[in-house]
Amino acid sequence: MNALLSQLGKASPLGSLLMKMKGQLDSQADANRVYKDLYPVLQDLLERGYRFESPEIQGVVSVLRELPAWGAKRREFEKRYLRDEYTLRKLPRDPSYFNGQGCWH
Protein backbone atom coordinates (compact mmCIF):
# COMPACT_ATOMS: atom_id res chain seq x y z
CA MET A 1 0.00 0.00 0.00
CA ASN A 2 2.78 2.43 0.91
CA ALA A 3 4.58 1.70 -2.37
CA LEU A 4 1.40 2.42 -4.31
CA LEU A 5 0.88 5.69 -2.48
CA SER A 6 4.45 6.81 -3.09
CA GLN A 7 4.10 6.05 -6.81
CA LEU A 8 0.94 8.13 -7.07
CA GLY A 9 2.67 11.02 -5.42
CA LYS A 10 1.36 13.54 -2.93
CA ALA A 11 0.43 16.06 -5.61
CA SER A 12 -2.03 13.70 -7.29
CA PRO A 13 -5.66 14.14 -6.16
CA LEU A 14 -6.03 10.36 -6.00
CA GLY A 15 -2.82 10.07 -4.02
CA SER A 16 -3.91 12.63 -1.44
CA LEU A 17 -7.33 10.99 -1.12
CA LEU A 18 -5.75 7.58 -0.58
CA MET A 19 -3.35 9.05 2.00
CA LYS A 20 -6.30 10.48 3.95
CA MET A 21 -8.13 7.16 3.77
CA LYS A 22 -5.03 5.29 4.96
CA GLY A 23 -4.65 7.77 7.82
CA GLN A 24 -8.26 7.22 8.83
CA LEU A 25 -7.84 3.43 8.79
CA ASP A 26 -4.62 3.68 10.81
CA SER A 27 -6.41 5.97 13.22
CA GLN A 28 -9.29 3.52 13.64
CA ALA A 29 -6.91 0.62 14.21
CA ASP A 30 -5.02 2.62 16.84
CA ALA A 31 -8.27 3.66 18.54
CA ASN A 32 -9.50 0.06 18.58
CA ARG A 33 -6.24 -1.17 20.08
CA VAL A 34 -6.22 1.49 22.82
CA TYR A 35 -9.89 0.84 23.58
CA LYS A 36 -9.30 -2.92 23.93
CA ASP A 37 -6.41 -2.24 26.33
CA LEU A 38 -8.32 0.36 28.34
CA TYR A 39 -11.66 -1.43 28.69
CA PRO A 40 -10.48 -4.02 31.28
CA VAL A 41 -8.89 -1.25 33.35
CA LEU A 42 -12.16 0.69 33.37
CA GLN A 43 -14.18 -2.40 34.31
CA ASP A 44 -11.78 -3.20 37.15
CA LEU A 45 -12.03 0.34 38.53
CA LEU A 46 -15.83 0.27 38.37
CA GLU A 47 -15.95 -3.15 40.07
CA ARG A 48 -13.74 -1.82 42.86
CA GLY A 49 -16.28 0.91 43.49
CA TYR A 50 -14.51 3.92 42.02
CA ARG A 51 -16.95 6.73 41.32
CA PHE A 52 -17.27 8.63 38.04
CA GLU A 53 -15.78 11.72 39.70
CA SER A 54 -12.64 9.92 40.92
CA PRO A 55 -9.33 10.94 39.34
CA GLU A 56 -8.73 7.37 38.16
CA ILE A 57 -12.03 7.11 36.29
CA GLN A 58 -11.67 10.64 34.93
CA GLY A 59 -8.24 9.70 33.56
CA VAL A 60 -9.77 6.77 31.67
CA VAL A 61 -12.66 8.97 30.48
CA SER A 62 -10.26 11.60 29.15
CA VAL A 63 -8.46 8.96 27.06
CA LEU A 64 -11.75 7.47 25.84
CA ARG A 65 -12.97 10.93 24.87
CA GLU A 66 -10.09 11.29 22.38
CA LEU A 67 -10.50 7.91 20.64
CA PRO A 68 -13.48 8.49 18.31
CA ALA A 69 -13.12 10.42 15.07
CA TRP A 70 -13.18 14.17 15.51
CA GLY A 71 -16.43 16.11 15.23
CA ALA A 72 -19.97 14.83 15.48
CA LYS A 73 -18.87 11.23 16.09
CA ARG A 74 -16.80 12.27 19.09
CA ARG A 75 -19.67 14.35 20.50
CA GLU A 76 -22.12 11.47 20.00
CA PHE A 77 -19.75 9.01 21.71
CA GLU A 78 -19.34 11.36 24.66
CA LYS A 79 -23.09 11.92 24.93
CA ARG A 80 -23.86 8.17 24.84
CA TYR A 81 -21.09 6.75 26.99
CA LEU A 82 -19.12 9.34 28.96
CA ARG A 83 -21.74 11.23 30.99
CA ASP A 84 -21.80 9.25 34.22
CA GLU A 85 -21.10 5.88 35.79
CA TYR A 86 -24.28 4.39 34.34
CA THR A 87 -23.33 5.28 30.74
CA LEU A 88 -19.75 4.04 31.28
CA ARG A 89 -21.15 0.64 32.21
CA LYS A 90 -22.92 0.53 28.82
CA LEU A 91 -19.59 0.52 26.94
CA PRO A 92 -19.14 -2.72 24.98
CA ARG A 93 -16.11 -4.96 25.41
CA ASP A 94 -15.38 -4.95 21.66
CA PRO A 95 -15.09 -1.62 19.78
CA SER A 96 -16.43 -3.23 16.60
CA TYR A 97 -19.84 -2.83 18.27
CA PHE A 98 -19.61 0.89 17.46
CA ASN A 99 -19.43 0.27 13.68
CA GLY A 100 -22.45 1.81 11.99
CA GLN A 101 -23.60 3.70 15.08
CA GLY A 102 -22.14 7.06 14.10
CA CYS A 103 -19.95 7.41 17.15
CA TRP A 104 -16.60 5.83 16.30
CA HIS A 105 -14.71 5.93 12.96
Q: Higher model confidence: residue 13 or residue 63?
A: 63
Q: What is the mean pLDDT of residues 59-82?
A: 93
3-class state of residue 75 by DSSP: helix
The pLDDT value recorded for residue 59 is 92
**Domain housing 32:** 26-98
Q: Any long-range contacts for 41-49 (C-beta under 8 Å, 24+ apart)?
A: 42/88, 42/91, 46/85, 46/88, 46/89
pLDDT surpassing 90 at residue 83: yes
Say if 89 falls within a structural domain: yes
Say if 46 falls within a structural domain: yes
Q: Which pLDDT tens digit goes with each residue over 4-23?
A: 445 445 555 655 655 555 55
* Number of structural domains in the chain: 1
Say if 8 falls within a structural domain: no
Say if 3 falls within a structural domain: no
Say if 105 falls within a structural domain: no
Q: Higher model confidence: residue 17 or residue 102?
A: 102
Q: Which pLDDT tens digit goes with each residue over 22-57?
A: 555 568 888 999 999 999 999 999 999 999 999 999
Flag the least confident range among 73-77, 82-86, 98-102: 98-102
The pLDDT value recorded for residue 84 is 97
